[in-house]
Each structure stands twice: as structure tokens, then as C-alpha cells.
Structure 1
Amino acid sequence: MLKVDGINVYYGNIQALKEVSLEINEGEIVTLIGANGAGKSTLLKTISGLLKPKRGKVNFKGDEIAGKAAQSIVKMGISHVPEGRRVFSNMTVEENLELGAFLRKDKEGIKEDFNKVYDLFPRLLERKKQQAGTLSGGEQQMLAMGRALMARPRLLLLDEPSMGLAPLLVKTIFRVITEINETGTTILLVEQNAHMALSIANRAYVIETGRVVLSGTAAELNESEQVKMAYLGGH
């Protein structure tokens, strides 16, 4: 479904991604593991059109998308839930969700997706008239995910969904990620919590200082000594 081929991305003179390649098949959950500053968020931003690679290709369902405008990439079926949630804090929950469907014209389908989001996140239904800025961190994360789903993506990019959340909420968020995947949405997940990420992923890539240094099935990476030492706290 997605093929990233040898991309190089720079911030000014600093090279953030070096010849990064990866593939995602339809229906998979693929996770990217790496330390802070390894280039994981940069990779998601490049796929979703927020950054432009200097070299290399990004191919989505047969179309070259590297360098396309972010909104046309959303239209093609890729939604990005950014790190730090980025909800519109002075708008209500409902208005935030409406914005997720901004590029759509199918009123019935939008109504259906509102219900789907409220089914996944009943808390958002309770808070739908509340300003997003008054929600807890976990609720804002649910809203950011719900807003992305309102675009009806084929591929969902999730950047650190569990960051700063209480353990119980982390479990909820990961359960919902699995449910979203089971309804047919392919997922690329960036996550510091390697244990949780590998527990739900089909495959994984490890990225260090802008390079992919390891890849394999989630089970293989879970067993890898290198991954255990660096990301799983040595157990």
C-alpha cells in the first residue's frame, strides 16, 4: 500500500533522514521504534506531505506522493495524528470532528462516521459540546484520533499516541488502535512504548539517527537482543 524508497530529508543543513526505505501492506499495523530525535516524526511528516524529501520516493497505492500538498494527500486517503495531539482548543469536540471531514461532501457518510467515532470513544459523545481545550490529555488524544478518522483514511499515521497518558488510558488507546485496524484501516504507528507497540503490530522497523537499522516481524523484534537492550528495558 505504501512504499518509501531511499528518502533523504533535511532541516536546513541537518540531515534528519538518511536513505530511509520501508513498506506497508494493506491491512497491517506497522510500528516504528526509536529513541527521541531518531527521525520517526520526520518520516510521518514526509509521508503526509508536511515535509518534502530532498531525494527518494514515497509511493501510495501506485501514486507518487512525495512533495504533494498535505491536503491532497489527505484526499488520497492518508490521515496523520500528530505528536502532542494538536486539537483546536477553543472549538468544541463536535467542531473538531467536523473539521476532520472538511474535504468530504457525502453528508450521510459523515453522519455515519460521527457515530463510529462516538462508538469507539463514548467519552467524546459525553463531551461533544465541550471545548477541546478543557479535555484531559487522554480525551484530547481520543479526539485527535477521531478527527483523523473523520477523513475516512485508508492509512492512519499515529505519532506517539500514548505519550503522557496514564497506564490505564494507554491500554484503552491501544485497544482502539486494534479495533480501527480490524475495521480495515492500515496503520503506521510511531511509539516510544515499544512493548505495547510490538504487542499489537504485525511488523516493525527500528530507526536510529535517521536510518533504518533493523526490520522484521513484531515477534522477531521482540526477541532481538539489540531491541531488548535498547528499547525493552533489557527484559
Structure 2
Amino acid sequence: MLKVENLHVKYGAIHAVKGIDLEVKEGEIVTLIGANGAGKSSTLKAISGLEKAAEGSITFNGQPLNKLSARNIMKLGISHVPEGRRIFAGLTVLENLEMGAYLRKDKAGIKEDLKKVYSRFPILEKRSRQDAATLSGGEQQMLAMGRALMAKPKLLLLDEPSMGLAPILVQEIFSIIQDIKAQGTTVLLVEQNARMALSIADRGYVLETGKVVYAGTGEELAESEEIAKAYLGG
């Protein structure tokens, strides 16, 4: 479904991603783990068109993405939930969700998907008329995920969905990610909580200073002593 080959991303003199290869197959949860500054978020931004690749190729269902705008990449079926949630303050929860569907023209389908988002995140329906900025961190994360799902993506990019959340909410977010996969959406997940990420991932890649240093199934990576020492706290 998604193929990234020899990807390089640069910010001026900073070489953030240095020749990454990765693949995401339809129906998988694939996770990228690694320390801060390893190049995980930059990889997602290059895939969704928020950053331009300096080198390498990105293809989605056989279509090259390198020269496409973020808007056109979204049209192909890729939604990105950025780090920090980036909800629209000053708009209500409902208006934020409607923004997720702004490229769609199927009014009946949008209405149906709004119902699905509300059934998955009941708190958002209760808060639908509230300014999105007044939501708690966990509620804002649910809103950011719900907004991305309103675009009806084939591939959902999630950047640090558990950041700053209480442990009980982290469990809930990861359970929702598994449910999103079960409903037929493929997920590429960047996550600091490596243990949780590997527990739900079909496959994973470990990044270090812009390069892939390990790759394997979620189970293989979770059981590796080297990875446990470096990323799983022992």
C-alpha cells in the first residue's frame, strides 16, 4: 500500500531523515519507534506532503506522492493526525469534525461518518457545541483522530497519540487504534510509548538519528533484549 524508499528529509543544514526504507501493507498497524530527534515525525510529514523529500521516493497504491500537494495526497486517502493535535481553537467540536470532511461532497456519507465518530468517541457528541480549545488533552486527541477519520482515509498517520495523556486514557486511545484497524483503516503510528505501540503493531521499525536500525514484527521487536534495553526501559 505505502512504500518509502531511500527517503531523505532536510531542514536547511539539518539532515533529519537519512535514507529510510519502509513499507506498510493494507490492513496493518505499523509503528515507528525511537528517541526524540530520530526522524519519526519528519517521515510522517514527508508522506503526507507537509514536508518535501530531499531525495527518495514515496508511493501509495502505486501512485508517486513526492510531487503532490498535501491536499492532493489527502484526496488519495491519507489522513495525518499531527503531534500536538492541532485542533482548531475558536471552532466548535462539530465544526472541527466537519473540517475533516472538507474535500468530500457526499453529504449523506459525511452524516453517516459523523455518527460513526460520535459512536466511537461519545464525549465528542456531548461536547459538540463547545469551543474545541476548552476540551481536555484526552478529548482533544479524540477530536484530532475523529477529524482525520471524517476524511474517510485508507491510511491513517498518527503522530504521538498518547503524548501527555493519563495512563487510563493511553489504554483507551490504543484500544481505539485497534478498533480503527478492525474497521478496515491501515495505520502508521509514531509513538514514544514503545511498549504499547509494539503490543498492537503488526510490524515496526526502530529509527536512530534518521536511519532504520531494526525492523521486524511487533512481537519480535518487543522481545528483543537490545530494543528492551534501549527503548522499553530494561
Q: Which residue of 2 aligns with 1:84?
A: 84
Q: How does 1:8-19 map to 2 (within 5 A)?
A: 8-19=8-19
Q: Which residue of 1 aligns with 2:104?
A: 104
Q: Which residue of 1 aligns with 2:130?
A: 130
SS in 1 for 2:41: helix
User: Which amino acid counterpart does residue 209 of structure 1 have in structure 2?
Assistant: T
| Matching of residue 169 in structure 1 with residue 169 in structure 2 | yes
User: Which amino acid counterpart does residue 200 of structure 1 have in structure 2?
Assistant: I
User: Which amino acid counterpart does residue 230 of structure 1 have in structure 2?
Assistant: A
CA contact 1:53–1:67 (8 Å) conserved in 2? no
Q: How does 1:1-235 map to 2 (within 5 A)?
A: 1-234=1-234
CA contact 1:206–1:213 (8 Å) conserved in 2? yes
Gaps of 5+ in 1: none
User: Which amino acid counterpart does residue 214 of structure 2 have in structure 1?
Assistant: L
Percent identity over paired residues: 65
Residue-by-residue CA offset, 1:132-174 (whole Å, 9 max, x unaligned): 0000000000000000000000000000000000001001101
User: Which amino acid counterpart does residue 54 of structure 2 have in structure 1?
Assistant: K
SS in 2 for 1:116: helix
User: Which amino acid counterpart does residue 155 of structure 2 have in structure 1?
Assistant: L
TM-superposed CA distance for 1:67, in Å, is 3.0
Gaps of 5+ in 2: none
TM-score normalised by L of structure 1 = 0.99
TM-superposed CA distance for 1:225, in Å, is 1.3
SS in 2 for 1:88: coil
SS in 2 for 1:117: helix
SS in 2 for 1:226: helix
Residue-by-residue CA offset, 1:37-73 (whole Å, 9 max, x unaligned): 1110000000000111111000000000013100000
SS in 1 for 2:57: strand
User: Which amino acid counterpart does residue 60 of structure 2 have in structure 1?
Assistant: F
Separation (CA, whole Å) in 1 of partners of 2:7 and 2:204? 18
Separation (CA, whole Å) in 1 of partners of 2:90 and 2:37? 30
Separation (CA, whole Å) in 2 of partners of 1:40 and 1:227? 17
Separation (CA, whole Å) in 1 of partners of 2:89 and 2:133? 4
SS in 1 for 2:38: coil
